[in-house]
Structure formats: C-alpha cells, structure tokens
Amino acid sequence: MNPTPEQKQWMYRHMLVSRLFEETIEKIYLEGKTPVFNMANGPIPGEMHLSNGQEPCAVGVCAHLNKEDVVTATHRPHHQAIAKGVDLKRMAAEIFGKETGLSGGRGGHMHLFDADVNFSCSGIVGQGLGPAVGAALSRKMQNKAGVAVSFFGEGAANQGAFHESLNLAAVWKLPVIFVIEDNAWGISVAKETATAVDRNAVRAAAYDMPGVYVPGNDPDAIFVAAGEAISRARAGEGPSLLDIETYRLAGHFMGDAEAYRPEGEKEDLLRKDPILVYEKALLASGDLSESDNSDLKEYAKREVDEAIQFARESQFASPASALDHVFA
C-alpha cells in the first residue's frame, strides 16, 4: 500500500530532522580538531559516522513500527534512531558524553540505547543481527506483540552472523525483518570487489524467505516494500530480507578523505540528494504545500537547536561514577 500524504510528510519531517541534526553535529565535531585533525579534541571526542543520504531507509521502514517493535542498528545510527523515536535531547547528550545522555554518556554515538522505544545500535559490524533474532524469538515465545528489525550495511551481509541469523529466523519462522542499507562502500572497499552476487536480495532464497531489492533510495518505494514485510511478520508468516539501494553522501567517518571514490561519483550522488528529490516530488504532487514545507523546516531547526542546547548545557558524569553499571 502506498503511503498517505500524512505518512509522506511524517517521513519527510524525520528526514529533515536527521539531516539537520547531522549537519549541526558535523560542525560541532570539528570544533577544536582543526587545523590539525585530532579525534580526542573538541566537545565530541572519538569517531563520528554520518548517515546523510541514507535517511530514506530509516523512515520508509520505521513509519510502520510501534514502540513495542525492536530495532537494532549500526555504527551509522542517527537516522534510524530519529525515525524510531529515540529522545533527541538525550541522544545529543549521549554523543557529547554527558550524564543526561541515553547511557549517561558512556556509549557515545555508536552505542545508542533507548529502552523506551526498544532501540539499540553497535559499533561492531553485523552485531545487531543476532539480538534482533533473539528479540523476535522472545516475542513469539511469550505471544507478545511486536516485530524486530535489524538494519545493517551490505558489508555485513558477508559476515557469518548474517547467514546464521537468517537461517535461524527462517527455521523458527520468527517475526524479524532484515534490512540491508547498500551504500556500495564497505569503508573504502567497493561492494563488487567483496561480494559474489550483484544483489544481496537473492541470498534470501537460501533461507526460504522473501528477498526484495528496492532501488532508487526512494522513501515511498521503501515504505511499500517494508510495509509488506512487516505485515507478513506480524501475521506470523516469518522473516523477510530487504535490500535497499542508498547513498552515503559523506565519508565513512569524519576525516575520511574519500580518495577511493571514482572521479565524479560524489558530485553525482549530491545531485541525487534524497531530501531534495523528495521535497521536489512532494511539492509537485501536492502532498506538501510551500507553507507545510516551511513549517516542517522550522520544526526541524527548533528540535535540533533545543537538543544541542540541552547537550551543551548538561554536565559530565562525576569521575566517582566511573565504575557504576559495570555489573548488572
């Protein structure tokens, strides 16, 4: 089923918030790190992985999810967290390492965890596959509502955890959806040099589940494919694999020179910026008015500004609490 105008605006709004949040984080991340780049300096230490360009994957899937549904995500998680409803202020504070963060500032941007909306992510490639299967199994065993969704990149589809997780989910007919965000690059390795098949969707056949390839980085097309897979899971018909073509508009990490990209690739991708493309399509179809568009952009700015202010003004955790939460 195609998205309604209201659902299209929901997806567009979350894409705007995600993009503005990351553009703001990018500027703040560089504070104190230039002219000589040093990850340890500035208000946001450590690595930073931006998801700009991949927003359609998150909104097209998460538009169908409820709070009780589980999402496991990757080291590039901001768009997925925002689409799932993770608290933006606490998420920003976590990235800044503050005590008001989702995990008290201990996890940072690659290890966001929000039990209120059943969201988690990890810096380990493919790590979320097994926990998503486990979450789906727990719901089936307890006869509880909810499905599980595991987001991961095309590089993770070559991990053993991918095959183990798909096999077990199929054997036990679990309500889990596996979502590949294929941005064509595993760090600096092109997919065609590391993966034996053109499309990972074909691998679903080995585990007797539907495998759907969604081209174009199109929120509406992703919405339709995800809706079918999630409805199937909710009806007790088992797992599905979605293989979504998307684009990473930034480097693999902040500071990545992207020298591995072919000449002209980055410029071509920027011309296909999914937010600009979707904005134009919604205005042309009448699903979004100029007034609505202005309101949604103001909303995104207000949400991001408030989250960043909250994070900046929050306190760091006391050194005396360093050993808290080490054991359950």
Distances (CA, A) of 294 to 8, 73, 280, 288: 15, 31, 13, 10
- Cβ atoms of 30 and 42 within 8 Å: the answer is yes
Sheet with 113-114, side-by-side order of all strands: 113-114, 119-121, 70-73, 148-153, 176-182, 240-245, 211-214
Pick the range with the lowest mean pLDDT from 14-23, 129-138, 248-257, 271-280: 248-257
Residue that the structure tokens 């789906």 belong to:
136
Count each helix (H run) and each strand (E run) in the chain, helices first.
11, 9
**Gap between the Cα atoms of 80 and 54, Å rounded:** 9
Q: Residue 36's pLDDT is what?
A: 73
Residue predicted with more confidence, 32 or 293: 293
Q: Residue 22's pLDDT is what?
A: 98
Q: Residue 61's pLDDT is what?
A: 98
CATH class of 5-84+111-312: alpha beta
Phi/psi for 120 (5° steps) reads -150, 160
Q: 295-324 pLDDT, tens per residue?
A: 999 999 999 999 999 999 999 988 998 888
Does position 37 have pLDDT exceeding 80, yes or no? no
Name the band, by pLDDT with cuts 50, 70 and 90, for residue 328: confident
Q: Residue 322's pLDDT is what?
A: 86
In what helix (H) or strand (E) does residue 214 lie, and over which residues does it extend? strand 211-214
